[in-house]
Amino acid sequence: MFRSTFLNIKRFSYSYSSNSLLRNRVTNSTKLLSIQNININNRNDSSIIGETQLARNIFFSSYISNVTDYQITKEDEMFSEIEESKTYERRGNFVASRSILGRSLEMTERMIGKKNPITLNILFRLINCEMAIGELSRAQQLANTVLERVDLADSSNDRYTIPSLNNLILCNKYQGNLQLAESNSDKLITLARDRGNRELEIGTLLNKAIIQGLQCNDECQKLFEEAMILSNKYLEPTHPLNEIIYGNYGSYCHSVEKDEMAESLYKKAIESAQSNNNQKELSNILTNYSEFLLDSEQLDRAEEMLKLASAKAEEVYGRQSAKLGSVIYIMAKLYRAKGNAQWAEGFFNRCITIFEDHKNLSTMAQKEQAQKERQETPQYQAGKREIELRTNKEVDIDYGNVLWDFAQMLREKGRVPEAVNLEQRARKLNALEDDE
C-alpha cells in the first residue's frame, strides 16, 4: 500500500492537500496525508473485490510544507458573517458555513473588488469548506478562480498561487484525473524553480513521482532518484523530506519487486525518521516495511517487524484507530500465510471490530451533529455530507479488503455460508460511490 497523503498496487493511496480539514496525519511543519486506496492498474471500481491473483500492497505518503498552505488572515472578520461561518465550522456544520461564505463572497466582490486580499481570503475559506464537505469539483473551480485573479509571475502572489495549485492537485487526484494532476504538478515545479525554492521543488517532484506511479508509469523512478539527489544536495540531514522520499521510493521498489533496493531504502527511511523523531512517518514506514517482508516471504522477520509497527501505530494513533487496524490486517495475512488459521481469524475479527467501530462512531457523530444543529438553528438544515471526510471512504475500501481476504480463508476451511456473508459485505463496501 502506498500510504500519508499515494496508492495500492492493489490498493494505492495518496493525498496532497493544503487544507487541514482533509488531512488525517498532520504535524506543525509537515503534513502527511493518506488518501483513498485505488488500484494501480487503474481499475478502481468494485471489480477489485474478487481478484484471486496476489498483488503487492504499497502505501505512499506525499509531502507538503507550511509554505504550501494558505494562511487564513483575519482581515475579513470585519464582516460579522465571517465569525458566524467560523462558529458553524467549529460545530462541524460546513454546509451552513458554506452558505454564509457564499453570500459574503458576493458582497465583497461587489463592494471591494474581486482581486482584493479580503475577497481572496474568503475564497480560500470557501475552498476549505467545499473540501471538508467533499465537493471537490466545486473546490477545483474556486481554486482556478483564484489563479485567474492573480498574476502568477508576481512572487508576491505566491501565497495565493502555491496553495491554489496544491488544492488543484488534490482535487484532480481524488477525482481520478491523474494526468491533470501531473500537469499541475509541473506548473508548481516550474514555479518552485523560478523562485529558487528547493524544498517546494523536491516535495513536488516526489508527489509527481507518486502520481506517475499511480498511472503505472515507470518513469516515476527517475523522479524518485532526482528528488533523492536534490534532497541530499540541498536539504539538511534532519529535514523530514528525507525519510519521506526514502519511504516512498522504497514502496515503489517494493511494488515492482526490486526487493534488495526496497529493503535498503526502507532501512534508510526508518533510520532517518528515528533520527528526526518523526513518529507519524515512522509508523507509516514500519507498516510498509512489515508488508514488504510479508510480500517477500520473510515471514519470521515480518512477524517481528509487525510487533514494532503495531506498537508504534497504537502509540501514535491510538488503540482503536483505523491506522492500527491496517497493521492488524497485515498480521492476519501473515498468520494465514503461516498456516495458523486460529490466530489469523482472531486478527481478522479484531480488525473488523476496529473498522466497524470507526464507521459507527463516524455515523453517530454526524447524526448527533445534525440533530444539534436542527435544534439550535432550525433555519439551517444540515447537509447529508456535513462532516463526512473522505477518510470514511478510505476505511470502506480497507475494510472491504479485510472482509474479502477473511472470506477466502473461511472458504478454504469449508465455512462457505460465513464466507459468502463476508463477501457480500465486502462488495457492498467497495461499490459505494462518493456521493452516497
364-417 pLDDT per residue, tens: 555 565 555 455 443 333 222 222 334 455 676 778 889 999 999 999 999 999
Residues 239 and 331 in one domain: yes
Residues 294 and 375 in one domain: yes
Question: Does residue 2 lie in a domain region?
Answer: no
pLDDT attached to residue 69: 67
Residues 37 and 93 in one domain: no
Residues 412 and 297 in one domain: yes
Q: What is the DSSP letter of 154?
A: -
User: Where in the sequence is the domain holding 119, given as residue range(s)?
Assistant: 70-176
Per the structure, the count of domains in the chain is: 2
Q: Whole-prediction pTM value?
A: 0.76
Radius of gyration of the chain from its Cα atoms, rounded to whole angstroms:
22
**Cell matching residue 67:** 509554505
Looking at 129, 148, 176, the residue that finishes a domain is 176
Residues 166 and 182 in one domain: no
**Cell matching residue 106:** 458576493
pLDDT attached to residue 217: 84
Looking at 113, 143, 176, the residue that finishes a domain is 176
pLDDT attached to residue 223: 96
Q: DSSP readout, 195-252?
A: HT-HHHHHHHHHHHHHHHHHTT-TTHHHHHHHHHHHHHHHS-TT-THHHHHHHHHHHH
Spans of the chain below 50 pLDDT: 1-55, 373, 376-391, 432-436
Residues 156 and 231 in one domain: no
Question: Does residue 418 lie in a domain region?
Answer: yes
Residues 56 and 83 in one domain: no
Residues 172 and 320 in one domain: no
Q: Which residue from 185, 295, 219 is spatially nearest to 251, judged by alpha carbons? A: 295
Q: Could you give the 3-state DSSP secondary structure of residue 73?
A: coil
**Cell matching residue 314:** 497504537
Whole-angstrom distance, CA of residue 293 vs CA of residue 301 = 7
pLDDT attached to residue 90: 85
Look up the CATH number of the domain holding residue 149.
1.25.40.10
pLDDT attached to residue 8: 30
pLDDT attached to residue 375: 53
Question: Does residue 277 lie in a domain region?
Answer: yes
pLDDT attached to residue 364: 59
Looking at 129, 149, 176, the residue that finishes a domain is 176
